Structure 1
């Protein structure tokens, strides 16, 4: 008996909505991922429900997003779970409320697959799986054990509750989607995960590309036209190490030779979680003042993709001194725009920027998390035009290997295999072993 066709999937994103602007609060690469995958699923004829926590009292219960030229919609359902102003670190106490809201939601039973994003969503999805019988696909986006292994100085380690929950989800999920072979290997060897599929995130090269448009962005990033521009893009939290970016600027300024142009650091992103009071704009400005570079630093609010792409193109180097990255979408977007990237040699950044199949990425990985080491790598791109141009071209080629279409196609393949297996099992005649 043939399995029924896959028609409808439910994406669970407890702690942050795909409607939120990436780079603010808890919104980041996960939001970009969920939004692009959801749109791609709809473009292929599936209906997508996204279940997320209600962030404020004025948002509707359901926001319907029509995907242009597609046959369906993305319905974002807001579920009550704890106080509206609850911090991300407090949400674990309200996951049971979210699960009950999801299980009772009128469209939850229509989902043929649940796909959890982040560990909290996996916790909810695993319980919904038992209650509703809906198979669970899990994407962690970040893993607590990996974050704790490369913790930023002064940052809080991920709690034991998260570590235990991730281990259980990794074992129980019907399928896991990992962004890199490295994370897949870690899940299998260190967390006893089964059924792991590598599906890389993508980049929209119709938006992120090397088209010249250095007009308004050049004026915004570099008002005098004299400075070299180093760009930092991301949430202002210890994990992303924006303080190291400021210290790198200070090292570049301190070691500048006579006649070298000044360097300007532009930071695009908003305060996030445990970064408040530590690496938020006031704290970073205070650090810059102490280091004597406060006049060479500027902050911009998070931008939509079209504007962000223009900022990448107008910069000379993109700096990613993160302590941990599961993948590193910023590095991929910057490479697609032809801008060299200097990043920490950790996690997914090795995959995005490293030599894969003999082809170099468009940037440099720094093994030692020290501002002087980052400054040395950045300086070469700023002062050697041919070297920078070669890296920019390599980055464009590298980015062409990633696309959201490929991400969505591989994700659907995981869904369909799981749905067929699940449906066939439930269609077995009585007395036969599935």
Structure 2
């Protein structure tokens, strides 16, 4: 008999914010396709600011609590993000003895738990009470077992997995043509939110310096702006010579992102923190070399020459890494080969089976 699952998440996509917590929805839909009965209690509002935060979390909390009367029908409650999602999830465990699984995606440990002693305490309590903890990367496992004292057998490293049908290697020349990208230029791609913590200041600085030497580069940024002010600051830092070389494209759906990744000559992810770095794995699945910072899950994902790791917050190191990747053909070929192997090991299908095992 298939399990009935309630998924609680403080991030989930909407028509207005199609990429907000997209990885949670992808997992939910993939599990439904495997026959699991899944209900959701999710927050789709990505607005910041204190007043908005109170409003959106208040609404989401009420929506979640409204599931309590039918709480007995759930075998498992699965919370994405330890805090705040783990709090309402804990109610189901306490009231109905429902099995509680929490997934840490990184931000909940790297940022949220550090906001106040109370949030850290709540995070620890939720981790202790959970029946099982999923983390998306090795560094997070060390944090959960080391800093929060959770027994190792209660923690599994299961990332969100890469959808190899969507992120597939297609002919780069053809992909460039379809996206109307200049065939005689090298195209660098970033996918993610346009925020400071993604290292975009350093990226634009490194790109501009490198393009002075090469003059054949273009940089494409796909994603959502979180702050008008930060985007204006980035645009103001673009020199006149590069105004037609740096492009802000806005958010794209998964299929379009897959095509952009296949078309790109290098994928770059200069984040300051990264729980796992699924987006880098997606690029590897499209046979595109990756240059990323040596932080969090990326340190593990790109080790042993699977990608080029650079120092975080350093435009110099990023520039050197990009230059090396663009100019060394044998290095690129080796990265593509190792990236393919890693994408195969982290196939979404493999990861889903591991989650279903935990539910059972």
Give the TM-score normalised by the residue count of structure 1. 0.75
Give the distance between the partners of 1:217 and 1:90, measured in 2 at CA: 40
Contact 1:322 1:343 (C-alpha < 8 Å) held by counterparts: yes
Whether 1:392 aligns to 2:331 is no
Give the TM-score normalised by the residue count of structure 2. 0.89
Contact 1:209 1:396 (C-alpha < 8 Å) held by counterparts: no
The CA deviation at 1:391 is 1.6
Whether 1:189 aligns to 2:179 is no
Give the distance between the partners of 2:16 and 2:129, measured in 1 at CA: 30
Partner of 1:130: 94
Match of 2:166 among 180, 186, 207: 207
Alpha-carbon RMSD = 2.7
Change (3 A) 1:46 1:128: same
Contact 2:222 2:250 (C-alpha < 8 Å) held by counterparts: yes
Whether 1:31 aligns to 2:27 is no
Match of 1:264 among 210, 218, 221: 218
The CA deviation at 1:319 is 0.7
Partner of 2:270: 321
Give the distance between the partners of 1:97 and 1:266, measured in 2 at CA: 36
Whether 1:50 aligns to 2:40 is yes
* Unaligned stretches of 5+ residues in structure 1: 56-83, 150-156, 417-434
Partner of 2:76: 113
Partner of 1:287: 237
The CA deviation at 1:316 is 0.8
Change (3 A) 1:85 1:250: closer
Q: Which runs of structure 1 show a deviation greater than 6 angstroms over 4 or more consecutive aligned residues?
A: none
Return the index of the structure with the highest Cα Rg.
1
Change (3 A) 1:20 1:111: farther
Contact 2:283 2:289 (C-alpha < 8 Å) held by counterparts: yes
Give the distance between the partners of 1:241 and 1:22, measured in 2 at CA: 22
The CA deviation at 1:145 is 4.7
Whether 1:243 aligns to 2:197 is no
In the TM superposition, what are the counterparts of 1:346-361 in structure 2 within 5 Å?
A: 346-355=295-304, 360-361=305-306
Change (3 A) 1:88 1:387: farther
The CA deviation at 1:380 is 1.7
Give the distance between the partners of 2:16 and 2:162, measured in 1 at CA: 19
Match of 2:185 among 217, 224, 227: 227
Give the distance between the partners of 2:11 and 2:263, measured in 1 at CA: 33
The CA deviation at 1:366 is 0.9
Q: SS state of the match for residue 120, structure 1?
A: coil
Whether 1:277 aligns to 2:229 is yes
Change (3 A) 1:249 1:213: closer
Change (3 A) 1:219 1:6: closer
How many residue pairs match? The answer is 356
Match of 1:345 among 276, 285, 294: 294
Q: SS state of the match for residue 208, structure 2?
A: helix
Change (3 A) 1:89 1:182: farther
Give the distance between the partners of 2:174 and 2:11, measured in 1 at CA: 37
* Unaligned stretches of 5+ residues in structure 2: none
Partner of 1:367: 311
Give the distance between the partners of 2:51 and 2:272, measured in 1 at CA: 19
Match of 2:285 among 336, 340, 351: 336
Per-residue CA shift, 1:284-309, capped at 9, x if unaligned?
1111138x533320011221222111
Per-residue CA shift, 1:304-336, capped at 9, x if unaligned?
222111111111111100000000011100101
Give the distance between the partners of 2:271 and 2:14, measured in 1 at CA: 23
Contact 1:222 1:264 (C-alpha < 8 Å) held by counterparts: no
